[in-house]
A and B are shown apart, each in its own frame.
Chain A
Amino acid sequence: MSYSEKVIDHYSNPKNVGTLDKSKQNVGTGLVGAPECGDVMRLQIEVDETTGIIKDAKFKTFGCGSAIASSSLATEWLKGKSVDDAVKIDNMDIVEELSLPPVKIHCSVLAEDAIKAAVNDYRQKNGLPELKFEGSVVH
């Protein structure tokens, strides 16, 4: 399979690879996937407590090039968004932006799941109720 330019670019020059201090109150961490499935994604957000805006986002991903690109793109999109807007990122937006083929859609789903998991982790830490997501894609 050949990759789109954008996938190759994110893969070759991934944005925001790294680790935030997960013990901090204003950091939310989402760890999704499983080694047996061949993909694990960890996505973290750091929130400005006064504004509720995500001021930093980092990822680490074990997976194919499309999974790496999806998480890199997700962190780019997250920065500057409010926590509430973050969960509105849809995996199909990622698919479209990166021109992912159908077999790679689940890599983008993983990114969406990671965002939601990170937001929920942040909410939980800050005494907010967990958000329930409907129609979570079975993959």
Chain B
Amino acid sequence: MLKLPIYLDHNATTPCDPRVVEAMVPYFTNTYGNAASRNHPFGWQAEAAVDYAREQIAKLIGADAKEIIFTSGATEADNLALKGVFEMYRSKGNHIITCNIEHKAVLDTCKHLEKEGAEITYLKVNPDGLIDLKELEAAFKPTTILVAIMYANNEIGTIMPMKEISALSRKKGVLVFSDATQAVGKVPIDVNKDGIDLMAFSAHKMYGPKGVGALYVRRKNPRVKVTAQMDGGGHERGMRSGTLNVPGIVGFGKACELCMLEMDQDAKRLGILRDKLESSLLKLEEAYVNGSTQHRLPHVSNISFKYVEGEGLMMGFNKDIAVSSGSACTSASLEPSYVLKALGLGDDLAHSSLRFGLGRFTTEEQIDYTIEQVTKTVNRLREMSPLWEMYKEGVNMNMVEWAHH
């Protein structure tokens, strides 16, 4: 029996895997010590649990346990990486290169740094959602201290050419930071092979709990340091003070271990389901995939259904199926998605987009139901759409004089 509602918004957050919850439970009531309490068994047990989790997490990304700095999530890790590097390497330069489809946690932190005297270059992306390596190469200056490019995008799932980006940066002696929140645990990542010096990620995007994440900070070749953004008791080697969230960290560790074990089979299974969903929905006329279909996470699909508006579309099934849209009507700012616009999509297509994010517990039955419901609703709303009628009559919509407001 199909159970409703169906969750297809795994880029926003994921459910905790029950095995993760099971691992966490004892750390609330039994092993509740402060990992920084050095003088009694409660503290030692907590510290041991944190150390174990640090190993599990480091292993997933090919890092050393000492290189993991725990934070409250990816937003904090993004802030710590950008602000921390800027303050630490200020004497070397003030220039940071990033791109225009980064998450707001990166873009708004960059905006903040601009006020502090940073110079930021925002690379544009091509219609596939990828940066141009030649443009990156041309953007370096003698004052460049950091390249900050996300591993995979949260709206369209596209994967950046990290190896090439880091090779170029390394040649220039510039550090590489990557917001890998959407990619860790979903595709194989190795900070050494990928040449990443700092990397942000978050437990709740990979079947772990909310409110815990990490910043990977390289310790060798080169040794990287960041200035603390949270002052206090000097936890996490002085880079992030605050009593560690032991149950959260234990869950994060378990989540990483599970991803390590199951990533291949999950990716394969979800890739097949995603492709089924996508190819079925593309049978609708005037439906387009946004972003590269080649360099993309296996569980994400972002599709625009021209001539229907995204929020109106979601309303047709959102009590049964949870997805998200880049439409302006869904955003508080009434602006359509800046990511889709950065791909060069016209506003009309940006307004018409839906993001489907599949996850570990998504079933084929759910996908079949989704195909049916979305198809039905798109057709129904097109019958109600003046733009669809014009399109069908062959009216050139660029020639219509719209009453702009």
The interface of chain A, by Cβ under 8 A from chain B, is 3, 8, 11, 14, 17, 19, 31-42, 60-65, 67-68, 103, 106, 109-110, 113, 117, 138-139
Number of interface residues of B (CB under 8 A): 30
The closest CB in chain B to the CB of A60 belongs to B386
Query: A63 contacts which chain B residues (CB < 8 A)?
Result: 309, 312, 329
Q: Which of A17, A37, A65 contacts B312 (CB 8 A)?
A: A65
Q: Is the CB of B387 within 8 A of A40?
A: yes
The closest CB in chain B to the CB of A41 belongs to B386
The closest CB in chain B to the CB of A61 belongs to B384
Query: A67 contacts which chain B residues (CB < 8 A)?
Result: 309, 312, 329
Q: Is the CB of A65 within 8 A of B385?
A: no
Q: Which of B316, B329, B384, B404 contacts A60 (CB 8 A)?
A: B384
Chain B nearest CB, measured from A39 CB (Å): 7
- With A60-B384, A60-B389, A113-B403 as contacts: A65 and B311 at CB distance below 8 Å: yes
What are 13 A-B contacts with C-beta separation under 8 Å? A3-B315, A11-B312, A11-B315, A19-B389, A31-B403, A34-B404, A34-B405, A60-B385, A61-B384, A65-B311, A65-B315, A103-B334, A106-B334
Majority SS at the chain A contact face? mixed
The interface of chain B, by Cβ under 8 A from chain A, is 307-309, 311-312, 315-316, 327-329, 332, 334, 336, 346-348, 351, 383-389, 397, 400, 402-405
Query: A106 contacts which chain B residues (CB < 8 A)?
Result: 334
Extra contacts besides A11-B316, A37-B347, A62-B309 (19): CB < 8 Å? A19-B389, A31-B400, A35-B346, A35-B347, A36-B346, A37-B405, A38-B328, A38-B336, A40-B387, A61-B386, A62-B308, A62-B312, A62-B385, A62-B388, A63-B312, A64-B312, A65-B311, A68-B312, A106-B334
Chain B nearest CB, measured from A7 CB (Å): 9
- With A62-B386, A103-B332 as contacts: A113 and B405 at CB distance below 8 Å: yes
Q: Is the CB of B307 within 8 A of A33?
A: no
Query: A138 contacts which chain B residues (CB < 8 A)?
Result: 405
Give me the 6 closest cross-chain CB pairs, A-B, nearest first: A34-B402, A36-B347, A65-B315, A38-B351, A64-B329, A42-B386
Chain B nearest CB, measured from A111 CB (Å): 13
Q: Is the CB of B386 within 8 A of A64?
A: no
The closest CB in chain B to the CB of A32 belongs to B403
Query: A32 contacts which chain B residues (CB < 8 A)?
Result: 403, 405
Query: A8 contacts which chain B residues (CB < 8 A)?
Result: 315
Chain B nearest CB, measured from A97 CB (Å): 18
Chain B nearest CB, measured from A80 CB (Å): 23
Q: Is the CB of B405 within 8 A of A62?
A: no
CA distance A113 to B332 in the complex (A): 23
Query: B383 contacts which chain A residues (CB < 8 A)?
Result: 17
Chain B nearest CB, measured from A63 CB (Å): 5
Chain A nearest CB, measured from B329 CB (Å): 4
CA distance A41 to B328 in the complex (A): 16
Q: Which of A35, A68, A139 contacts B402 (CB 8 A)?
A: A35
Chain B nearest CB, measured from A132 CB (Å): 15
Q: Is the CB of A64 within 8 A of B309?
A: yes
The closest CB in chain B to the CB of A7 belongs to B315
Query: B385 contacts which chain A residues (CB < 8 A)?
Result: 40, 60-62
